[in-house]
Chain A
Amino acid sequence: MLNDVLFLVSIVALYLFVKDWYGKRTGCLSALFYGIFMSVPTIEGLYALASSFSLSFFIFSLYFCNKYLEAGKRWLLYVSGMLMSSALLICQQWAVGLVLLLIIVIFSRRTQSTKTARSLAKDSIAGVSTLIGGMILLISAFIIYFWSHGALYDLIRSTVIEFMGYASYGSFMRAR
């Protein structure tokens, strides 16, 4: 049920930021494509799986990042970082999303702003540190939780080391 609600809200978020980036027509087409293909059982988008759940968080994160680029309010970037780390904590593949957000924040401020080089650098550093602050919050909460239960190594081994192992063989599926 939560999956369905998140999916419906994420259609609107996807439409809004794609509309800002590429125009209304592309926004509608991408919302339609996303709406149809995430709702057919063949692609398993309607199941509450890691990939489908995390995709909604990824889209919300991009939406808030886009809002930050428009309005320039740092809390939006903080929320964006938190949402992206939520996506990462649901599905490891979204580690790519963290890098993507960093690239967007660093390069978009540089091209849009008309300030001096020094204030641009300040803006970029402040933006990146806010984003990283948002990303770290949830991840560190889980790290502290598992560390306090003496299971931090097991967490890292299962979710990072083993994942890197089978990702390096070109597959995200676990060998059974």
Chain B
Amino acid sequence: MLTEKGEKNTTFHELKTIAARVRAEGEIIDVASGQMAKLGQKLSAFLKGHSLLIIICLFSLILRVLWIKIPVHGDEGEAGYDAMLWLRGNLPYAFHDMDKPPLIPIVPNIDQFVREQYYPCQDVK
């Protein structure tokens, strides 16, 4: 059974705990916002210092976008075909001939390897 004094003490203790928690959370928020601000400053300093690099990257991106709809290259098709056969259980080198290392059918078609479905043509969905 709690006395009046005891109840008061409990409430005061709870308030003290809440206040300490709020202070700690405030400190965490301060630290997080400080880190974000530092990151932002670093990023803006990098962008200012390497503006030429950004221009080069954008220029390269534009060049890539210009030729984004080119037909599939023969070797791309070959790698895709090897990937399709591999996914269907025909192990490369053993069941069909392949002269390239084993990562080349996987890396360009990594999403299809994850889904375990392969579409040999890029446009077929």
Kindly identify which residue among B52, B101, B108 contacts A3, using a CB–CB cutoff of 8 Å.
B108
With a cutoff of 8 Å between Cβ atoms, the chain A residues found around residue B43 in the complex are: none
Report the minimal beta-carbon distance from B109 to chain A, rounded to whole angstroms: 9
Question: Roughly how many angstroms separate A174 CA and B75 CA in the complex, as a whole number?
Answer: 13
- Chain A interface residues toward B at CB < 8 A: 2-4, 7-8, 11-12, 15, 27-28, 31-32, 35-36, 38-41, 44, 46-50, 53, 86, 88-92, 138, 142, 146, 149-151, 154-155, 157-159, 162-163, 174
With a cutoff of 8 Å between Cβ atoms, the chain B residues found around residue A90 in the complex are: 100-101, 103-104, 107
Q: If A39-B67, A158-B93 touch, does A92 touch B101 (CB 8 Å cutoff)?
A: yes
Q: If A3-B108, A47-B73, A154-B94 touch, does A35 touch B56 (CB 8 Å cutoff)?
A: yes
Report the minimal beta-carbon distance from B59 to chain A, rounded to whole angstroms: 6
Whether the Cβ atoms of B102 and A155 lie closer than 8 Å is yes
Chain B interface, DSSP helix/strand/loop, else mixed? loop
Whether the Cβ atoms of A35 and B102 lie closer than 8 Å is no
- Counted as pairs of residues, one from A and one from B, with CB atoms less than 8 Å apart, the total is 116
With a cutoff of 8 Å between Cβ atoms, the chain A residues found around residue B53 in the complex are: 11-12, 15, 27-28, 31
Report the minimal beta-carbon distance from A25 to chain B, rounded to whole angstroms: 10
Chain A interface, DSSP helix/strand/loop, else mixed? helix
Whether the Cβ atoms of A151 and B94 lie closer than 8 Å is yes
- Chain B interface residues toward A at CB < 8 A: 50, 52-53, 56-57, 59-61, 63-64, 67, 70, 73, 75-76, 79, 91-94, 97-104, 107-108, 110
What are 26 contact pairs spanning A and B, CB under 8 A? A8-B61, A11-B57, A15-B50, A27-B53, A31-B56, A35-B57, A35-B59, A35-B60, A35-B63, A36-B59, A36-B60, A36-B63, A40-B67, A41-B67, A44-B73, A46-B67, A48-B73, A50-B79, A50-B101, A53-B108, A90-B101, A142-B102, A151-B94, A157-B93, A158-B99, A159-B101
Kindly identify which residue among B79, B99, B101 contacts A89, using a CB–CB cutoff of 8 Å.
B101
Whether the Cβ atoms of B60 and A7 lie closer than 8 Å is yes
Q: If A4-B64, A36-B60 touch, does A28 touch B104 (CB 8 Å cutoff)?
A: no
Report the minimal beta-carbon distance from A88 to chain B, rounded to whole angstroms: 7
Report the minimal beta-carbon distance from A89 to chain B, rounded to whole angstroms: 4
By beta carbon, the residue of chain B nearest A85 is B103
